[in-house]
Amino acid sequence: MKKIIFVLFALLIVLLVVWLVLRFNKGNNNNVVYDNGYVASTADEDVVIYDIDDLESRAQAIIPQGGFDYIRGGAETENTMKRNEMAFDMVDIYPRVLTGVNQPDTETSILGIDISLPVIVAPAAAHGLAHVSAEAGSARGAAASGTIMSVSTYASSTLAEVAQAGEGAPQWFQLYLSKDDVANQNLIRLAEDLGYKAIILTVDAPIGGNRIRDAKNNFKFPLPLPNVPKKSGETKGQGIGAIFAAAKNDFAPFDVMYVKSLTDLPVIVKGIQHPDDAEIAILAGADAIWVSNHGGRQLDGAPASFEVLGEIAERVNNRVPIIFDSGIRRGQHIFKAIAMGADVVAIGRPVIYGLALGGWRGVVSVFDYLKADLKRVMWLAGAYNIDDIKNIKLRKRCETKWCE
């Protein structure tokens, strides 16, 4: 009898181990389990990309549900998040022939920085949810791709780790203002000392959006966010709403002036969704405008970023550069955003998906895919370089529901 009980107990242990392997590996052996049970990839390989949507579904298979839903999710019904991609169908690109275009050139520059394509990394929190290398891995991939890495205050890597991984490649620091002026000054000074080339002041998150996926998952950050000032409290084990609540919650033009007073670096104001706010930011001293609705993660029921890009660009009237994000998934999206008035675009989720699947090499694969796709669109549209795209007029698709 004792022998039978022992055998059954041993079998139970074996089944438990198998379940844990299947639960945490999720079909991928490249991962590590942290002390709190969270699993992150350690993959280090090139990633074959057919489509960014396909990349997302593959990343979902290896990122734990809570982490994936935090990365992927939007606010409330996620209607605005969905519109971010759908809005690109409001306009068409005229195919052009007999233009003599051969091997289009995707190189451009922003704020005096030369980049290999008009796509940079958007500042997104907690890349460590996807891969053990976190933002340091993303930075290495961005550097190898010849583009700019933007690092969030809410990164899983320290600013120093990201700078070291970039090995001198251009990087920008995205600042969530603290209620502590000394902490703000120290963060900006640290970024300057580490060689960051610009400060991104995000102004569209005085409070967290109603992110229902996170609420259902009771999602809390399983890893610390080491750049957040200590006076703001512990970040590990906190949700994004609590972290936003500990930061500054009342933005005004003075805040742009305040950040400008703390640094000689260019200050980019991120989160602009209305022409009047673009005007206010420029008058307050913004060196660039970042058109974004935070990837549809803040105010659901707001327009897609692309829907407002044209009117904001018209108001800005080339006084400062325009960066654009929210919904970029294809070469045609990049093309349309630039034709509508952006100087460069930024991607967040695709970078994290590539990181999860291949580490820094996966990030390079994402940029290689977008560069090749953009070049193909440019070739078929008769645009030799990025300046040509800026001079192209898009066709409004008047048979769609978007037209009046």
Query: Which positions are catalytic?
Result: 294
Which DSSP string do the residues of 311-325 spell out, in sequence order? Answer: HHHHHHTTSS-EEE-
Rounded CA-CA distance 259/270 in Å is 13
Residues 6+ apart with CB under 8 A from 128: 40, 134, 135, 156, 157, 223
Q: Are strands 288-291 and 267-272 parallel, antiparallel or unpaired?
A: parallel
- Contact predicate 378/101, CB 8 Å: yes
- Contact predicate 287/267, CB 8 Å: yes
Which DSSP string do the residues of 111-180 spell out, in sequence order? Answer: TTEEESSSEEEPP-S-GGGTBTTHHHHHHHHHHHTTSPEEEETT-SS-HHHHHHHHTT--EEEEE--BS-
- Contact predicate 253/224, CB 8 Å: no
Burial of 331 (0-12, 13-18, 19+ CB in 10 A): buried
Rounded CA-CA distance 311/305 in Å is 11
Backbone phi and psi for residue 150, each to the nearest 5 degrees, phi listed first = -100, 130
